[in-house]
Chains A and B, each alone.
Chain A
């Protein structure tokens, strides 16, 4: 029985005979590949490097020609961020909200995705299209009506008010559906023969084999919540509930732009997300997979 555990590493059991294959396309191809990938990586990284360098610079005129060496190096930008803001509180707010949103999105999306991949019924396609349709209205249009709904529910300036619009997403449903479609149905059949209910099949068979897609969704859900600006802006009032994007925007003056502070804020924003990315790639996949029965 082939090992269908969807881990992050692609393992290939060596077979006699394909050693030759490896030799040919091996050397030159590999070198070119590494060079191309590295060049691309440099292009990806360079702008980030500038961001970091600028965050360690100070003084005036930072929007002028960028340099690789910090001009007037200083920790002022970070000092302003860490000392002038209730930093720990802000990060805690953003983190808590993002984690809850991520968990909720994965849960609600997985459940719905299972229906679209494994539970046929008349009109399922229409309902799926209706799910997709929720992505076709720009958030700017939904902002005001959603706000009024929150006010009617009494959730202004409330963490729950920040969360609610984000707990379900058609993006997640779609992503996980595609991921679950790739899980072979023989496993389902086997489980059904053993008398498993839909929920058990979902939990023990399909879900554990959707690890990579769930990891992907986790990353995007976290990112979406972490960077969310407009909605927390209109719904939160109290200072102690502020999230990171709000706090960073608050540091910008009406007429002046402190590029060093802005870049420092960007750097600080990025680091947790990178951490989640790495974490998700490694552990979420493994963790999800381990909950299943092969």
Chain B
């Protein structure tokens, strides 16, 4: 998952980026002011935007309004040092999804970030299940038919991304955009190698494996075309 962090305080941005990379393993892009933040958000490759309010050049509220003005539905978590319900009401009404008041707890920030990404993808539970495949996003563990599958961080992130979008063809470019930050040298063959390893690890544990990830040549990857897809129980409840 790729997160855009718009925060002008360097040390805080450093810490947040480090925490988001170390903890849930997100790819983090950092924008130092509102204008850069707005430009970055225009790429629409983020799964979450963490936005400070008091920013140079363009304040957080304006960034948020521009974002929503473009019909961009990316979840937005606001960091604010302002007190008062008015400010919070204004923010939520302007399209913010959540807010955290400074000084905040890093653990809470990560939890909220995860929750917002999850909600943004339409999942309601931190454990994603497609057929016999189960991905626990909190522990970052993967089980196939109950058996634990050991994955590298990148393999896990690819799988988690695909798990959010079953039966949809996800291009390599999309995977690159959502798994790597701006500073990464983009090479699609990196993805190919990781998907190949991932497929081996997921299928290798079973005696008669059904292929979990299908490669659509020139178009991308698709998760579990043959897996018995059953709607998630929680989704049923929510409908």
A and B interact physically: no
Chain B contact residues, CB within 8 Å of chain A: none
Chain A contact residues, CB within 8 Å of chain B: none
